[in-house]
Structure 1
């Protein structure tokens, strides 16, 4: 249970058009939000906007939620991280994740199998880069260093640049219990997706049992402030339908699996069927009200204030508010969370 929820702003990844959220980020910083988080799927990247916002702010933390591992080798991500951490004065929080086979193999052209083993290797190599105690080596099957082939001339190297911090905070974007347990074992935080403050805690209690003191659970929460709660729920459902139906294959969709574990198996499969059949409006309508109402904060501000109590009672330590950009709403939500 978090006595004092930390508050962050989730700006996500771009849609069809470029989306410069500088004014929102500046407003959030002025209001005391502690972090801003970018993301990537298969369009805009996570690091460029974060550097852009970091250059226009002074204090707000800079997080990736999530940078996809298959987009970059471990040392490339470590280089991005140490560079941005230097330029921002030590403000980076590096969130990484494996994504899913649809993106990993279809977009990046990389193999997906053995995600837990890959993650463990990835983080080990990044931390070698940042510690800079010795030339970086990797003995695992996924990211061997030096490369065991080619010319045979490769040799272990040490970063030319001395990192500002020898241990940049690493967060894992994880959905399955085994991946969450890995986050608790080797990472500094967890960025859950589709977290229900009433239903999710018992599902992950065993996985988080070994988490160290100070382990940060930074959860993205969509906010739809609207005088009409029914309309707010309808608006909140759209992204859930998209992830259940469109962000994964019918045969393997890790996002859908989360909804199944939450107890909404029949509804989730119905949403997927409708979405894949091209009946997207019906798919949105098929998302259960009680599910959307738990995952998001919707309705008038007094109702949102009431619903926040469940988040305060949960293991979540940081709320990353999504869907809010204007200063008045950022201020009102800050007052609700901090009041």
Structure 2
């Protein structure tokens, strides 16, 4: 199993010491470094800024939201970073949810799988650079069919360093996971739990079995962000992550349309999720966090003393479908090499 480190998206301000973290990660042989976006900081700018201070580590987005940019715009940004980094980009993309897509980007959300399929096809046509790009889809048309009528097919001026930049899909539901297996080079789960491994293996197998599937299980990557909170006191370690779990399970989406909530429900936390969501949507994020059981955090994160963390990596996480464990938290100096080795050994 490979190991990555997650910078994520920002809170109110840029994270501290990230330049030092990525330098330490590269020096210790960490395989990849990842950024994200929601509706504040973007994923590409920090990746390029921090990535410029590295020479080997792969640079991934987990994820770029497809409604934020046209497919040609993201293809341009991807091939630019890929050139500047010497071919180290992993382009993770995702559809996000209706609240962000329609509320923040002002774009329609319906039929996200169909839009994703078209989006990836357009990007790959840009990178292939075989001919001027034309596309007639339900969601994207190149050239645009309305307007002045003066649009013309164009071919990228830049010759991509790699004509086949790896694309990973961020997905949580089984249909979207199957789509990732069919059309992408990898899958980036969110809130993956080892206890749901068989469920996701079945969804991936469905995608691999489709006619024209791009990859097989043997050469497909699954890179999962796993939160990390070290502390000799388990409850104290879990308490640091309960507000994050409550935010996603309770507040990241509307009542009845929260895909993160659905993930935890599939793990068996339906009753708890209903209460967490009720409290969060009522404006009581503090009580919602208190309603998150420690065991629910342990399902999706590495929490507690370093001995426990390393044992769980080996016994619970490594036997799963995951190929890369992206640590959502940089281990303490005294336990850093031990945790990294537990993943890689």
TM-score, normalising length from structure 1? 0.96
Q: Does 1:23 align with 2:23?
A: no
Is the deviation greater in 227-236 or in 8-17?
227-236
Q: Which structure is higher in RCO with an 8 Å CA cutoff and minimum separation 6? A: 1
Is the deviation greater in 28-37 or in 251-260?
251-260
Alignment equivalent of 1:144, drawn from 141, 144, 150: 141
**1:177 is matched with which residue?**
174
Alignment equivalent of 1:331, drawn from 311, 318, 337: 337
Supply the distance in 2 between the matched residues of 1:67 and 1:243 (Cα, whole angstroms).
18
Supply the distance in 1 between the matched residues of 2:101 and 2:8 (Cα, whole angstroms).
19
Residues 1-339 of structure 1 correspond to what in structure 2 (within 5 A)? 5-19=1-15, 21-198=18-195, 200-209=196-205, 210=208, 212=216, 213-308=218-313, 309-324=315-330, 327-339=333-345
Contact 2:61 2:90 in 1 (8 A): yes
Where does structure 1 lack aligned partners over 5 or more consecutive residues?
none
CA distance 1:148–1:278, change in 2 (3 Å): same
Superposed displacement of residue 325, structure 1: 6.3
Where does structure 2 lack aligned partners over 5 or more consecutive residues?
209-214
Which string of whole-angstrom CA distances, capped at 9 and with x for unpartnered residues, describes residues 163-221 of structure 1? 000100000000110000000000000000000012x1122222111151210000000
Secondary structure of the structure 2 residue equivalent to 1:125: helix
- TM superposition outliers: structure 1 runs of 4+ over 3 Å: 325-330
Is the deviation greater in 78-87 or in 234-243?
234-243
Supply the distance in 1 between the matched residues of 2:10 and 2:331 (Cα, whole angstroms).
14
Secondary structure of the structure 2 residue equivalent to 1:133: coil
Secondary structure of the structure 1 residue equivalent to 2:141: coil
Contact 1:241 1:287 in 2 (8 A): yes
Contact 1:28 1:327 in 2 (8 A): no
CA distance 1:73–1:170, change in 2 (3 Å): same
Secondary structure of the structure 2 residue equivalent to 1:14: coil
Supply the distance in 1 between the matched residues of 2:226 and 2:15 (Cα, whole angstroms).
19
Superposed displacement of residue 279, structure 1: 2.0
Secondary structure of the structure 2 residue equivalent to 1:207: helix
Supply the distance in 2 between the matched residues of 1:320 and 1:146 (Cα, whole angstroms).
39
Contact 2:228 2:331 in 1 (8 A): no
CA distance 1:77–1:327, change in 2 (3 Å): farther
**2:212 is matched with which residue?**
none
Superposed displacement of residue 255, structure 1: 0.9
Secondary structure of the structure 2 residue equivalent to 1:208: helix
Which string of whole-angstrom CA distances, capped at 9 and with x for unpartnered residues, describes residues 205-262 of structure 1? 2211115121000000000000101111222222110011221112311111111122
TM-score, normalising length from structure 2? 0.94
Is the deviation greater in 81-90 or in 299-308?
299-308
